[in-house]
A and B are shown apart, each in its own frame.
Chain A
């Protein structure tokens, strides 16, 4: 049973690791902090695996756990507190920016800054939206109605576009 769970977990992690890391990065000051938070998320996801009933896609379930962990650690201001989890098996490699053009990098940099400027509620919504998650799934993760999510995303997109255009 544990072996089966382990396989499901690792496969889901392989598919969603980048998304989970990006969600963590929204709630972190820098990439080191994001890595710490990502490790915290993984431990809590693994800890909750036995409770996963398969009522939703495992990715959706992982985002839900990730957002709640980010909220818990962020709201506690627990940088360096309660974070006794250090996983050497996780590395975050910084690549050179050859793959992205300079303009793309500038846009990405602005987008990241603008996302971080949003209020916590908007951050949670936009984190999921930018990962290309469907509105229905976002509403399931957040506990808001689909219409409400759509309206909020429309408003947030406008805020982001204004902010980015101002910065570019």
Chain B
């Protein structure tokens, strides 16, 4: 077989499978698909914003009505914590490659940066998500630890919080190991193969 025959053979596949589209219907479908997609994106963003606001608003009564000073401070810090957690997520999103018109190589590099940002985000989640809330939690109970019931509830909640935090951390680590690392390795290999 000669080399130029390759192109001819390849393009002969149109004789076997032919793509057909109805112009008018296609445009309507494309528009509605995009609308659905945009709606889904907006909903996801809305859910994030709403859950942030629920946390923030939920602790306002704590600042206003709770008599204990340490609880007031803890409520305010929880609000700051909720905002901080929300913005951490956004810092990763900014790496997401949006421009599909980039060259293949640029797109690969951007995808890799995004995956690395995700990896860092998940690997450090113990520090910025769990460890930051623990001192705030202790502040909540600082003034009432002399009461046996508060000590009891506080102890149980503390261990539940620590347990959830550790579980979430291991889930993140597993996700990095099983989902993100293989994809980074695959993209590295692809970039290397393209450049060699």
Interface residues of A (CB under 8 A from B): 6, 10, 13, 17-18, 21-22, 25, 31, 38, 42-44, 46-48, 51-52, 61, 64-65, 67-69, 71-72, 75-76, 84-85, 87-95, 97, 99-100, 104-105, 107-108, 111-112, 119-122, 124-125, 129-132, 140-144, 157, 160-161, 164-165, 168
Interface pair A68/B20, CB less than 8 Å apart: no
A65's nearest neighbour on chain B, judged by CB, is B100
A-facing residues in B11-35 (Cβ within 8 Å):
11-23, 25-30, 33-34
B16's nearest neighbour on chain A, judged by CB, is A95
* Residues of B with C-beta under 8 A to A143: 102-106
Interface pair A89/B16, CB less than 8 Å apart: no
B7 within 8 A of A: yes
* Residues of A with C-beta under 8 A to B9: 104, 107-108, 111
A46-B34, A90-B20, A160-B6 are contacts. A100–B104 as well, Cβ < 8 Å? no
Interface pair B19/A100, CB less than 8 Å apart: no
Interface pair B18/A87, CB less than 8 Å apart: no
Interface pair B107/A68, CB less than 8 Å apart: yes
Q: Hey, what's the 0/1 contact readout for B66-110 against A, CB within 8 Å counting as 1?
A: 000000000000000000000000000000000111111111100
Interface pair B183/A75, CB less than 8 Å apart: yes
The range of chain B's interface size is 35 or more
Interface residues of B (CB under 8 A from A): 1, 3, 5-7, 9-23, 25-30, 33-34, 36-37, 99-108, 111, 183, 186-187, 189-191, 193-195
Q: How far is the CA of A104 from the CA of B10 in the complex (A)?
A: 10
**What is the distance, in angstroms, from A86's C-beta to the closest C-beta of chain B?**
8
Interface pair A100/B1, CB less than 8 Å apart: no
* Residues of A with C-beta under 8 A to B33: 43, 85, 87
**What is the distance, in angstroms, from B9's C-beta to the closest C-beta of chain A?**
5
Interface pair B23/A10, CB less than 8 Å apart: yes
* Residues of B with C-beta under 8 A to A97: 15-16
**Number of A-B residue pairs at CB separation under 8 A:** 169
Q: How far is the CA of A72 from the CA of B13 in the complex (A)?
A: 25
If A87-B33, A93-B17, A104-B9 are given as contacts, then 18 extra A-B residue pairs at C-beta distance below 8 Å, sorted by A number, are A18-B14, A51-B101, A61-B101, A64-B103, A64-B104, A68-B100, A71-B108, A75-B186, A89-B21, A89-B26, A95-B15, A95-B17, A100-B15, A104-B12, A107-B1, A108-B16, A130-B6, A160-B6
27 of the cross-chain contacts (CB-CB < 8 Å) are A10-B23, A17-B21, A22-B14, A64-B102, A64-B103, A64-B104, A65-B100, A68-B107, A71-B104, A84-B37, A87-B30, A89-B22, A90-B19, A92-B17, A93-B19, A97-B15, A100-B12, A108-B12, A111-B10, A119-B189, A121-B190, A124-B194, A130-B10, A141-B104, A143-B105, A143-B106, A164-B1
* Residues of B with C-beta under 8 A to A104: 9, 12
Interface pair B16/A94, CB less than 8 Å apart: yes
